[in-house]
A and B are shown apart, each in its own frame.
Chain A
Amino acid sequence: LSKVYFSTWRGEQINNIGKPQEEWETSAYNLPLEYNEHSSSKAFIGWDGLALFNPDVDVVRLATEYAAQYQVYSEACGRCAPGRWGGRILYDLLDKIARGEGSVADMEHLKEVSRTMQDTSKCEIGKTVPNPLLDLMHHFEAEFMECITKQQPSKHYHLHDTNYIAKITAPCMDACPAHVDIPAYIEGVRDLRFDDSLMATRQTMPLAHTCGRVCPHPCETECLRSNLDSPISIMELKRLGADYEIDHGFGFFHPVEQKPKIGKKVAVIGAGPAGLTTAYYLALDGIDVDVFEELPVLGGEVAVGVPEYRMPIDKYNQDIEAVRDLGVNFMTNTKVTADMMRQYEQDYDAVMVATGTRISKKVYCENERADIQGYWGAIDFLDKVNLQVKYDIMVPEADQKQHMLDCDYVDLTGKTVVCVGGGFTSMDVVRCSIRANAKKVVMIYRRDERTIINNTTYEEYHEAVEEGVEFIFHSAVAEMRDENNVLKSLLIDMFELVPDPNGGRATLEKIEGASFEMECDYLIPAVSQSADLKLIPEEWEIERTSWATIKTNGKDYMTSRKGIFASGDCEYGPMTIVNAVGQAKRAASVMARYVVTGEISLNDDEIMEDHLRKLKVYDKKKKITGWLPGLPRQHGEVLSVDERRDNNLEVKYAMTQEEALSEAERCMRCYYIAMVAH
């Protein structure tokens, strides 16, 4: 939190005009005081007010520039009468005043146009652009009037000493790790322009099918519509554009035309979401990309981890084919070693490590030994299930023996499966076990029902319960019990939440005497995963994080070794697909500049993106205007338990067109424009 000269941001009233800097008050918000390491900001102006960090700011010019940015950035706009003409009138009048030709009547016209824009514009951008302008005209009326009465230009009107950097955002876009232009793709659905919808998604998110299905959609948590009734079903609306492309056999709708080759090449290690995303955006920029994948199939954990009933492989393959369509080379069955990495560093202009986290962590119980038959890591278990279900790649004989299978696929008939987890991976394990015909499937989870829903989704948990998974909350495995190295049973401890008498966080404490023994055939640890980084040459001394992933600064995704980048789970630790995509998209942008200039840099758009995320665009207290509350969120149909529990049919149907259109109509197009003067 920092001291500011003046702020009306989000309704705060800070006015230090005339006070010495030491006495300035601090703002309650994470305002971007430093634009980047080279430059301090002078002012920040946006949809919800403005802040000045420097008494020397030319407020009339600032208002004019903000109105001008609305003209420049109106590619997102220009779609309603008040916004289109109103925005232009605002700019023309402000500029007239700023250059010393304004009249008092212009001030009145500005207010009148502002009101109509605020009341009737189509998008939030049109509704909110007048907000900080009115603030400026109100709080700095004297400065405006001076230009008018003296018919003189504002103080910096003819100086070129300030950069005005603007960025379009929206609460959902800000919340999305991949910063997908969500209002645009929803508008594509609403306008029945599904090609436009898909192209809007693919600007920053190549995996449109995938993230139309298996994204935990943090955007929906920060959807402004929740302030009015309930959030838009943002994730699913992505499917309409993606399905349109498939249904009609159109090639691929790429967001921009692919640039001609620039003669640079990049190696990407791992063909999961992060690797695919890196490859996609580098290829769009005209860079040759070779992707090396250890598995026999492409797609990483989404292919071999996420089950068919959640993410049908033919849809995911469409996402992968969109990448291949740009000329990306894929090499499967290629486990990259440290020697190969040394060679790649020589052969390529840059290398992206996107190898994920594929080592299942231990549950840390007594007698936990990998050589006990029946102990089966979640990642390997899901590999075996998915390779067979999706690709007809059968379980090799050695693995059949190790995992006590009577046939060449995962058949758990008559078996009891216990999974320890609480995240998506563990949900996939238990629901796949049900589909593999297990007699009994139990989930052991340390915390409660509410937390498991928070960590996954409401639907995921309830569907698992419906399918017959037994959840034991506040429990943990204390000991594996085996006979001759064959798992026979588990000792389960029970816990309870004990509130902290000092009002702190409640703690889990073991309930003495409540422990019990549970017979079982398999224990599948799905607690978490760690990264296998043996491919990184030791002498590179690449920095690691405290949880043993590759360290970057989280902005440009370069590792401590120049030219070697990392993104996705191997950088962040096990996280979501959309997180991996967001990191890789940013990294690809940095890499595309790096392979040409040898410099690591962020562009203004990226700098602003990071500033806004820090500031947080979504405001849960914001009052919604212009929209009728009470229009229900639409839900797509789900297969009944009987229809789904013994097969791999996709559990969730797409919304019907009618449902999707009703849902798209609810989107309020909360585009905002933010600008920094530095």
Chain B
Amino acid sequence: LSYWSQTIVILVSNNCHSERSDESPYFVRVARNIDSAKKVQKRIAPNDRVIEMTASFMVLALLTVAGMAAAMGLRNAVHCVLALTLGFVGIAALYLQLGAQFVGLAQIMVYVGAVAILAVFAIMMTHNPESANSPVFSSQWIWGCIVAAAVFAVLARAICSSAAFTQVLPPQPDATVHQIGDSLMHRYVLPLEIMGLLLTAALIGAVVIAMDRREEMK
């Protein structure tokens, strides 16, 4: 449900972009930017593309990758969840760096505040039979690493050789938190209410299942 809610938020924010498309200054700005980008593109050959990277992006990317890698490799499950939380914070910071305040704050509230805490509770309330000497990884771990590395190589090759990056894209206009909230409360109020109803039904269902189990135990 958290994935769905975040997807709906992203769709709403994209529609906020399209709602503003009838403003003439935006069209003028887009046309001006496309013209300037085409002029720059004429001077740069397709093979001479330079991958630009700011220092803040590098720091946040390293933080995120380190957190996720630690979450995958650490022995203690609680430490893994804490490292995962660090990765979530890094992703939220990347969203905020891109100017997507709503998605960044939703990432912090939903993933850092809810999903990570849920994972900690799931680990603490589940009996863990693993001893300190038992191996963390499966015996076939080398094949798993090879498959993951191969998948990354294929994806990286596809990304680097894609022709989509040679096209000139219009700049994305800003969608403020106020605009997204306004859209959620007016145009998309029905999907929002349906989502709330679905979450309430899931909550009641979880309580009913828990009550049945307690009665069975008695």
Chains A and B belong together in one complex? no
